[in-house]
Each structure stands twice: as C-alpha cells, then as structure tokens.
C-alpha cells in the first residue's frame, strides 16, 4: 500500500507550488488528492503542469476529486448534469494520470453531498443511483479511468450490503470502492467494534477496493448518539488490525489520511506509520 494525504495541497490548482509538493513528500507521503473544481474550470495545460511537478517529486495523484450535481436528484436533468460533469472530470483525471476519480452519490439534501434526507434509505433513490452509476461506469470504461465510489451512513450507500449490491449490479471494470470505514459507523454497536465493521465492509467490496480514506473517531457524550472524528491514533480504531486487513484485501491501494487540518497531519502520519510498523508492513514507493 502507498501512503497518501488529502488536504495538504491547495484546492486551487493555480496556487499549488513546488514547495507545497516538497513539504508533502518530506512528511513521507507518495500520494495525494488533487481537487478538480467544477468541470472545465481549468485548462488541460494546468493539469499537465501539476502532474509534471508531482511526478518530478515522486508523488502520484492517488485521487482526483471534482464537483458535479447529485446523481440521485429527483430531477432527471440534474442527474444528467451530474453524469456529464463526471465525464468531463474523467478527462482531467487522465491528464493527471490519476489512479482514481472520486465519486460521491450525491444527496437530496441541499446542505451537501453527505447531509441526511429521509428518502436516502428508500428504494426509488437507490435505483436512481444504480442508473446513474451505470451510465458513469460505461463512460469510465471507455476512458480507461478507475472510479472510487464512496459511501456514508447518511447517504443512499449507507451500509455494507448496499455497497455489495451496487458492485454486483454495476459490474463494470472501472467501478471500484473508496474504502472509508469510519463513514459507515451507524450505531453504538458499530462504534464499539470498528474492526468487525471494517471486516464486513471489506467482505462487501468483493476485492474492488481501489482507494482508501483513513480516519479515527470517538463516541461523544451528548444525547442521543454522537460520533466525532479525531486525529488518527486518538480514537477507537485499531489501526494495526485495520491496516492489516486492508493490506490483505487491497495491497496496491493508496491509504489517504483525510479530514485533518495541516497542523495535525504530521502527528497522524507518525501514528499511522507506527501502526504499519507494528503490523509488520511497510509503505510501497510509487
């Protein structure tokens, strides 16, 4: 597995400097996420510039991440725009030589892609995401781009069985899973037994993990149930066991530290490195 990070590079491609990349590499990362913005926000030459700088410093684009409308919206025109937006992002991913293109299913809640809505757990919305992902995957197969689909307990892809069904019904070679187990902590039973959740999610992915986001969490005291992210090594996840299981299932994936401000990333990197060492594992070089 390779070691990667989300959030150290500026989200505006025009502001990424060689110094930013060297700082990232000095921390031991060999993979990064690159934000694509809106479809066609940047010229092809900008993606080529970023790719050349990153590759020159030994850093791969583990994941390209762009904005686009929801794939589950009630309005067919909005869903079509989401599919088209992802198709445009595929071109950027190719220019960056990105290992994966990040895919979020979207939401019916205008507050954001991962905001809750009562219809997310209903069959018509799930069928819409199947339809949208099928269209996106067909295009990705043609483009030679690998899609990293993410789920979340508040989204339409809310549990391992839903992940399994999506991967079964959309068998395209291009569609894989962005493995993010903390996103699936949906009960106090899951919260106290994270490794069991990790194992269930890995079973559900059927060998189709193409990228991973690595985080940690705690159970907070406010009623009724509050689960909060914390820096890696400060929560309930057994990182030795989790990384061991992930390595067995997806040894070629990039494990990206996520959702931390820049000042907390070095300590998180030290903690995940220590867990890898305790597991008898080493990070691969690109």
Per-residue pLDDT tens digits for 85-130: 999 999 999 999 999 999 999 999 999 999 999 999 999 999 999 9
| Maximum Cα–Cα distance across the chain | 51
Q: What is the pLDDT of residue 206?
A: 85
Q: What's the mean pLDDT in 36-52?
A: 97
- Is 148 a residue whose pLDDT tops 80? yes
Q: What are phi and psi of 118, to 5 degrees?
A: -60, -25
Instruction: Please check whether residue 102 lies inside any domain of the structure.
Output: yes
Question: Do strands 2-5 and 31-37 pair parallel, antiparallel, or not at all (unpaired)?
Answer: parallel
Burial class (CB in 10 A: 0-12, 13-18, 19+), 9: buried
Percent of the chain whose predicted confidence (pLDDT) is above 70: 100
Q: How far is CA 106 from the centre of its chain?
A: 14
Work out the angle at residue 208's Cα, subtended by the Cα atoms of residues 40 and 239, and round it to the nearest 5 degrees.
Answer: 100
Tally of domains in the chain: 1
Which residues are within 8 A (CB) of 277 and not within 5 positions of it... i.e. 6 or more apart? none
Instruction: Please check whether residue 284 lies inside any domain of the structure.
Output: no
Work out the angle at residue 226's Cα, subtended by the Cα atoms of residues 222 and 232, and round it to the nearest 5 degrees.
Answer: 120
- Is 286 a residue whose pLDDT tops 80? no
Instruction: Please check whether residue 285 lies inside any domain of the structure.
Output: no
Residue 192 is part of which domain span? 2-278
pLDDT in tens, 210-244: 999 999 999 999 889 999 999 999 999 999 999 99
**CA–CA dist 243, 257 (Å, integer):** 13
Q: What's the mean pLDDT in 77-92?
A: 99
Q: Are 127 and 75 in contact (CB under 8 A)?
A: no
Q: What is the pLDDT of residue 40?
A: 94
Which residues are within 8 A (CB) of 77 and not within 5 positions of it... i.e. 6 or more apart? none
Tokens of 20: 């930013």
pLDDT in tens, 152-209: 999 999 999 999 999 999 989 999 999 999 999 999 999 999 999 999 999 999 899 9
Percent of the chain whose predicted confidence (pLDDT) is above 90: 98
Which residues are within 8 A (CB) of 3 and not within 5 positions of it... i.e. 6 or more apart? 28, 29, 30, 31, 254, 255, 269, 272, 273, 283
- Nearest one of 177, 217, 165 to 194, comparing CA atoms: 217
How does the average pLDDT of the chain come out, rounded? 98
For the CA atoms of 273, 276, 278, 279, the dihedral, rounded to the nearest 10 degrees, stands at: 180
Q: What's the mean pLDDT in 131-137?
A: 98
Instruction: Please check whether residue 24 lies inside any domain of the structure.
Output: yes
Instruction: Please check whether residue 283 lies inside any domain of the structure.
Output: no
| β-bridge partners, 35 | 65
Assign residue 20 the CATH number of its domain. 3.20.20.150
Q: What is the pLDDT of residue 223?
A: 87
Residue indicated by tokens 């491609």: 13
């Amino acid at each position: 597995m390779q070691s990667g990070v989300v959030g150290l590079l500026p989200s505006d491609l025009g502001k990424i400097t060689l110094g930013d990349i060297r700082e990232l590499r000095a921390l031991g990362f060999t993979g990064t996420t690159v934000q694509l913005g809106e479809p066609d926000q940047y010229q092809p030459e900008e993606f080529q510039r970023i790719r050349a700088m990153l590759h020159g410093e030994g850093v791969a684009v583990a994941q390209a991440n762009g904005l686009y409308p929801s794939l589950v919206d009630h309005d067919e025109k909005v869903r079509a725009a989401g599919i088209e937006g992802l198709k445009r992002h595929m071109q950027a991913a190719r220019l960056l030589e990105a290992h994966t293109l990040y895919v979020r299913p979207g939401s019916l809640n205008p507050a954001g892609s991962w905001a809750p809505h009562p219809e997310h757990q209903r069959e018509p919305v799930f069928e819409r995401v199947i339809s949208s992902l099928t269209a996106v995957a067909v295009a990705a197969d043609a483009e030679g781009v690998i899609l990293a689909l993410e789920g979340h307990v508040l989204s339409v892809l809310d549990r391992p069985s839903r992940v399994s069904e999506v991967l079964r019904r959309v068998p395209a070679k291009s569609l894989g899973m962005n493995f993010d187990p903390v996103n699936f902590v949906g009960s106090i039973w899951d919260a106290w037994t994270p490794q069991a959740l990790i194992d269930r999610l890995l079973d559900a992915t059927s060998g189709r993990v193409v990228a991973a986001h690595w985080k940690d969490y705690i159970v907070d005291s406010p009623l009724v149930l509050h689960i909060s992210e914390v820096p890696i090594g400060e929560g309930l996840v057994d990182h030795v066991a989790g990384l061991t299981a992930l390595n067995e299932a997806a040894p070629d994936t990039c494990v990206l530290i996520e959702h931390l401000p820049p000042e907390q990333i070095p300590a998180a990197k030290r903690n995940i490195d220590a867990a890898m060492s305790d597991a008898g594992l080493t990070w691969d070089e690109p």
